[in-house]
Amino acid sequence: MSPRRNRVKSSTDREDAPAAPFGGLRRTESYRGEDWVVQTVAGAPGRFYRCPGCDQEIPPGVGHVVAWPDYGQGVEDRRHWHRACWGARERRGAGIQRARNAPRH
């Protein structure tokens, strides 16, 4: 028996679906009584983000979730969350306190 080989798909075999700008699949979820567009991303090299769920940094290249209100799709509306923090968003309390010397991002 010869080893199995994966067939490379030609351009006619692929579906012509538009690629998402962050690379993951988009979905809509509810948060604080509003619909939010949620997308899993791989993380950009060289970019740090601050998670609004835990107020900790998301290091470059670490996979995370980007979420923004369904009504606003501007860059300023996007929030980068740790996957676990997004999953626990309804159970977390508001008013996370930041240390005096912690950087603001």
Domain ranges for the chain? 26-87
The dihedral through the CA atoms of 73, 70, 58, 98 has a sign that is positive
Please determine, for residue 38, whether its predicted confidence score (pLDDT) is greater than 60. yes
Look over the chain and give the mean of its residue pLDDT values, rounded to a whole number. Answer: 75
Q: What is the C-alpha to C-alpha distance for residues 78 and 96, in angstroms, rounded to an integer?
A: 19
Is residue 76 within 8 Å of residue 66, measured between CB atoms? no
Kindly give, in sequence order, each residue whose CB lies less than 8 Å from that of residue 68, ignoring residues fewer than 6 positions away.
Answer: 36, 37, 74, 77, 78, 79
Q: Which H helix or E strand runs over 92?
A: none
Between 74 and 98, the more confident residue is: 74
Instruction: Tell me which of 3-12, 55-64, 71-80 is least confident.
Output: 3-12
Express each pLDDT in 44-64 by its tens digit.
888 899 999 999 999 999 999
User: For the whole model, what pTM was predicted?
Assistant: 0.63
Tell which residue, 86, 49, 50, has the closest CA to residue 67: 86
Q: Which residue has the higher pLDDT, 25 or 54?
A: 54
